[in-house]
Amino acid sequence: MPSLLDKTIAALLPAVPKPLVRKFSSPYIAGEEFEDAARISAELRVDGIRSTMDILGEHVSVREQALTYTEAYLELIQSQDRLGLDRNVSIKLSMLGLTLDKDFCLENMNRIMACASSQGTKIRIDMEDSSCTDDTLWIYRTLRAEHNDIGVVLQAYLHRSMDDVKDLADLNPDYRLCKGIYIESPKVAIQDPVKINENFLKILEAMWDSGSYVGVATHDEKLIEKVKDLIRARGLGPERYEFQMLLGVQARLRDSLVAEGHPLRIYIPFGRDWYAYSLRRLKENPAVAGHVLRSMFRG
């Protein structure tokens, strides 16, 4: 559970001047432009590391914004292909209008999927807060009727996730499994970190039992050790899993996984709408958030 200090820091962060947030979040964000993300993706590839790119932004309030993000994703898919980079993109559906009108969001995703399929690009739908889960899974299921090159994320902290694995089993999804980053009530989500980890492993096994490929997205070293035990015990090869980490987090752990021969993908966020993402990353890491506040008070 977060300490009182952590909670205080998290509450104070929105008052921190934007330039300071930008400075401390810079390791987690490639930059504002596609070229910044492209450079990092190319560098990672030299080290045998895969990548997925994400355009920063979420929860649009008008349709025009959603259409602008749709165009930006179409351009991203074409640019990855043109430069011969990893053809892999992660998308938050609230940027494409999910919370305005789910049919409109589906139309935007259909355009993106048509372009992705023609380029051989893999699309992964990120999972947002629990108010979006049903509609996100509905869009995933609808798109799967025509496209195979699309994956989805489940969050180990949600009570419902094990049922979602059962409901989705007929689709043999390509999953990402993460703990879940949004603040959720105890009604909806497990709060105890130990229990979240237990559920993570149970869900992971259920995903593998149903034949799915899983992107295991965590930087938790102890959890990763347990996942490695499962991979060994099940004799799984790289066709069944990869590890996934966020840009700028736990580079040492990332390098040791690669040295051991595990497939690994880095999530590279970029774009002009970096502020909300940065606040989430900083809230998650009170050590860094503490530096931000200290710098602020020192001027």
- Which residues are part of the catalytic machinery? 126, 176
Nearer to ligand FAD, 121 or 133 (CB): 133
Residues 116-135 that bind ligand FAD (CB under 6 A): 126-127
What mask of x and - would describe binding to ligand FAD in positions 15 to 34, judged by CB under 6 A? --------------------
- Residue 260: CB atoms within 10 A of its CB come to 9
Q: Is the Cβ–Cβ distance between 73 and 55 less than 8 Å?
A: yes
Dig out the tokens for 150 from the structure: 């699309």
Angle, helices 251-259 vs 221-234, to 10°: value is 20
Between residues 29 and 38, which has the closer beta carbon with respect to ligand FAD?
29
Tokens at residue 113, please? Answer: 């999927």
The DSSP call for residue 32 is S
Q: Is 245 in the site for ligand FAD (CB under 6 A)?
A: yes
CA distance 180 to 202: 15
The span of 10-18, 98-106, 178-186, 289-297 binding ligand FAD (CB under 6 A) equals 178-186
284 binds ligand FAD per the rule CB under 6 A: yes
Instruction: Pick the closer one to ligand FAD by CB: 115 or 266.
Output: 266
Alpha-carbon separation of residue 193 from 59, 213, 253, 282, 287 (angstroms): 28, 25, 20, 19, 18
Q: Which position among 122, 285, 290, 291 is part of the footprint of ligand FAD (CB under 6 A)?
A: 285
Return the residue of 49, 55, 143, 153 that touches ligand FAD, per CB under 6 A.
153
Region near ligand FAD per CB under 6 A, out of 109-117, 226-234, 268-276, 281-289: 281-289
SS3 state at 123? strand
* CB of 97 closer than 8 Å to CB of 85: no
CA 284 to chain centre: 14
Q: Is 179 in the site for ligand FAD (CB under 6 A)?
A: yes
Contacts with ligand FAD, residue ranges (CB under 6 A): 126-127, 153, 155, 178-182, 217-220, 244-246, 249-250, 267, 281, 284-285
